[in-house]
Amino acid sequence: MPHDCVMVQRDAPVWRVTNGVFPSNCYIVPTGVDGQCVLVDPGLDGEAIEQAVASMGWTPAAVLCTHGHFDHAGSAARFHRLGCPVYLHDADLKTLRSSNFLLMAFKVPARIEVPPVEPVAPRGFRVAVGGLQFTFHPAPGHTPGSCVIECGRALFTGDTLYSRGVGLSKLPGEDPARLRESLLALWERFPDDAIVHPGHGDSAPFGWIKSHNAALRRFLEPQAHALQQP
């Protein structure tokens, strides 16, 4: 198994591959059916992701993207060519299509292919793969179409919610006020024992993040009354 592929949740197994070209987290979720797995946020390092999946004897069945930035969807086309539908909120299609411009702006020596996508529009959109169900919860702010993807106790939060820090990037389409509103909506929606798997950095229980992510609490201070712990 590749050294950079690690299990980050055991009760419903979730594995993480950290992309090397532009560091970001891709998550591999086995469905428990016929060796299938789901990829969440495949970034620029598609070869490493494919090697990790192959080393575990799995076959990707779907690609789910929390948002359209290149470090979360950069190798989606690679897996689309292997037969995986790619799901992305339709409000982030423009973000995805601007990926190569952003790569040039960041001086990253890589370019991506933009895949056809299955648009995610309604609130509570669900994708069933094998024995699992994934629910997209729109959480605009980091980008217009950012989503938190829920599967059991796992929450794949992209750049909306980190275990440490806040996902403010100053990139086109970011709206800090909407991000604050989205985070406040998440605060009560999910239980403290949900496991947050962010686009960058380590996974952590949601309750731990509420108590320990000081930068996040400062960002939410204008509505601090909503964050009181029981």
CATH number where 24 lies: 3.60.15.10
Q: Are 75 and 46 in contact (CB under 8 A)?
A: yes
Residue 126 has pLDDT above 80, yes or no: yes
Residue 225 has pLDDT above 60, yes or no: no
pLDDT interval class at 223 (50, 70, 90): low
Q: What is the pTM of this model?
A: 0.94
- Outline where 14-59 has alpha helix (H): 46-55
Residue 192 has pLDDT above 50, yes or no: yes
Sequence-distant (6+) residues with CB within 8 A of 219 are 166, 168, 176, 180, 183
% of the chain at pLDDT higher than 70: 95
**Rounded to a whole number, what is the distance in angstroms from the first to the last CA of the chain?**
43
Q: pLDDT tens digit string along 59-100?
A: 999 999 999 999 999 999 999 999 999 999 999 999 999 999
pLDDT interval class at 221 (50, 70, 90): confident
Query: How large is the average pLDDT for residues 97-104?
Result: 95
Q: pLDDT tens digit string along 132-178?
A: 999 999 999 999 999 999 999 999 999 999 999 998 888 889 999 99
Residue 1 has pLDDT above 60, yes or no: no
Residue 184 has pLDDT above 80, yes or no: yes
pLDDT the model gives residue 208: 97
Structure tokens at 99: 């990926």
Residue 54 has pLDDT above 60, yes or no: yes
pLDDT the model gives residue 22: 81
pLDDT the model gives residue 230: 43
Residue 39's φ and ψ, nearest 5 degrees, are -105, 130
Taking the C-alpha atoms of residue 228 and residue 117, their distance in angstroms, rounded to an integer, is: 40
pLDDT the model gives residue 3: 47
Tally of domains within the chain = 1
Taking the C-alpha atoms of residue 224 and residue 5, their distance in angstroms, rounded to an integer, is: 37
Maximum average pLDDT range among 19-23, 96-100, 106-110: 96-100
Better-scored residue on pLDDT, 61 or 22:
61
Sequence-distant (6+) residues with CB within 8 A of 19 are 25, 26, 43, 44, 45, 48, 49, 71, 74
- Outline where the chain has alpha helix (H): 46-55, 70-73, 76-80, 93-97, 99-105, 176-189, 206-212, 214-219
The rounded radius of gyration (Å) of the Cα atoms in the chain is 16
The 3-state DSSP class for residue 122 equals coil
pLDDT the model gives residue 131: 87
Q: Identify residue 183 by its one-letter amino acid code.
A: L
Domain extent, residue 199, equals 5-227
Taking the C-alpha atoms of residue 6 and residue 152, their distance in angstroms, rounded to an integer, is: 19
pLDDT interval class at 121 (50, 70, 90): confident
Sequence-distant (6+) residues with CB within 8 A of 109 are none
